[in-house]
Structure formats: structure tokens, C-alpha cells
């Protein structure tokens, strides 16, 4: 059984560190308004991370790969946007060939409730969609089945207390341990501002890195606060 002893290699958007003092609490603009367009045209993308229980902010770079290590090889996901992508398996034994599993824009590969899952999605022009699949590795062969469809493209991910948190292109989801999906927030202003990372400190301090700033989210009362880059 390939699932035993696997672990995840996080693929993060890394860059120059930025201070929280470089951001100011701001009114979140309505989608497609003039203030929103100013944010959307910015070249500043910010990634967030939990660094020893504190928020760390960095200038983000695009990330097109994700990876999950298995006992006898690695699962690789590639996301090239409108140009497509693929989920593949590379055996640790270099004499064995690369296994192509599925075409698609692979966003995230992870484990939950002792199973392997992957998420794909695409937000480009009129396309804004995504799905979650369960991957079966029985008998050293790979098969998959779709178990969830999303209303928009999943963009950023974090595991927290046996839950998967997902910032979509415009919605925020919680995937619970029983693989039930909850839409916590809908039609958020960050549509088109491309969430790239989620940092969880606790239930009241969940941060989402986006273009032009970051968002603070309280999972309990659903309060959001937008922090805009001042420079």
C-alpha cells in the first residue's frame, strides 16, 4: 500500500520579506469598481505563512508545481494555467518510467482521513472552475474519482485541525474530515486578485495572501479585514 509513511513537501511562494507596517487596514473594494481595478493592476503579490506562530509576509512569485512524497516515489502536479498541466508519478527507482496519471491544472496534492486527494482548477477568461479527486494507489496502479466540484477555481490551500481550507478565485471553502464541503464565504472582493497562500495561526487569525495586500479572516464569525500595501 503506497499510502504508508507518506509526507507532503510544501511548495510555497518565496520572496523578499515584507513588514506588517507596510500595510494599512482598508475598506475592501467591490469587485469591478475603480478601487478594485487599481488593486488588480498592481504588480505586487504577497504570500503569507505561519512562522513559529506569527504571520510572515513575503513578496510572492508564481508557483506552478506541487509534490507529495510516497514511500517508493513522488507524485508531481503541474499547473501551467491556460496551457494545461498534469499529475504524474515518478518512481524512486530511476529505471522505471514516469507514470502519467491525469491531464489538468493540478493545484494541490494532499492526504486527509488516510486517503490521497488532489485538486485541479482553472480561472482564465470565461472559465472559472475546479474539482477534487480521490486517488487510489491499490496494487501500485493509479486510478482516480471525482468527489467534489467547486463553484470557482481553487487557488490557495492550508491544512488545519483535520480540515482543508481553500481560498478560491472568489469563494472560501472548508473541506471537513468527512469530505463534506462548506462554503464559508461567497463572492469575495478578491476575485481577480488571485489568492496564492493561506496562513493559519488559530480560528480567529487566518490570513490569505493576494495581489496588492492580504486578508485577515475570522473563521468563527466570518469577519474579514483587508490590509492594503501602502507603497
pLDDT of residue 94: 87
pLDDT-above-70 percentage for the chain: 93
- Please tell me which residue, 133 or 2, carries the higher pLDDT value: 133
Residue 5's pLDDT band (cuts 50, 70, 90): very low
- Please tell me which residue, 145 or 94, carries the higher pLDDT value: 145
Does the structure show a pLDDT above 90 at 62?
A: no
Q: What pTM did the predictor assign?
A: 0.90
Residue 12's pLDDT band (cuts 50, 70, 90): very low
Average pLDDT for the chain: 91
Q: What are phi and psi of 138, to 5 degrees?
A: -60, 135
Q: What are phi and psi of 22, to 5 degrees?
A: -85, 0
Topology of the domain covering 7-229: Neuraminidase (2.120.10)
- H or E stretch at 198: strand 197-202
Residue 3's pLDDT band (cuts 50, 70, 90): very low
Amino acid at each position: 500500500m503506497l499510502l504508508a509513511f507518506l509526507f507532503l513537501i510544501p511548495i510555497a511562494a518565496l520572496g523578499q520579506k515584507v513588514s506588517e507596517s507596510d500595510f494599512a487596514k482598508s475598506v475592501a473594494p467591490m469587485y469591478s469598481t475603480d478601487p478594485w481595478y487599481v488593486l488588480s493592476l498592481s504588480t505586487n503579490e504577497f504570500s503569507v505563512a505561519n512562522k513559529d506562530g506569527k504571520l510572515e509576509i513575503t513578496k510572492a512569485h508564481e508557483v506552478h508545481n506541487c509534490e507529495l512524497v510516497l514511500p517508493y516515489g513522488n507524485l508531481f502536479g503541474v499547473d501551467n494555467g491556460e496551457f494545461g498541466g498534469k499529475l504524474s508519478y515518478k518512481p524512486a527507482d530511476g529505471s522505471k518510467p514516469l507514470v502519467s496519471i491525469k491531464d489538468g491544472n493540478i493545484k494541490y496534492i494532499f492526504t486527509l482521513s488516510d486517503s490521497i486527494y488532489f485538486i485541479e482548477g482553472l480561472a482564465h477568461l470565461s472559465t472559472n472552475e475546479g474539482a477534487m479527486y480521490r486517488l487510489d494507489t491499490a496494487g501500485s496502479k493509479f486510478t482516480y474519482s471525482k468527489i467534489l466540484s467547486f463553484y470557482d477555481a481553487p487557488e490557495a490551500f492550508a491544512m488545519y485541525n483535520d480540515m482543508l481550507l481553500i481560498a478560491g478565485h472568489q469563494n472560501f471553502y472548508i473541506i471537513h474530515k468527512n469530505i463534506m464541503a462548506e462554503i464559508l464565504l461567497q463572492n469575495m472582493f478578491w476575485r481577480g486578485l488571485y489568492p496564492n497562500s493561506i496562513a493559519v495561526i488559530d480560528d480567529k487569525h487566518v490570513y490569505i495572501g493576494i495581489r496588492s495586500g492580504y486578508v485577515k479572516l475570522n473563521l468563527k464569525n466570518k469577519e474579514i479585514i483587508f490590509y492594503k500595501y501602502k507603497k
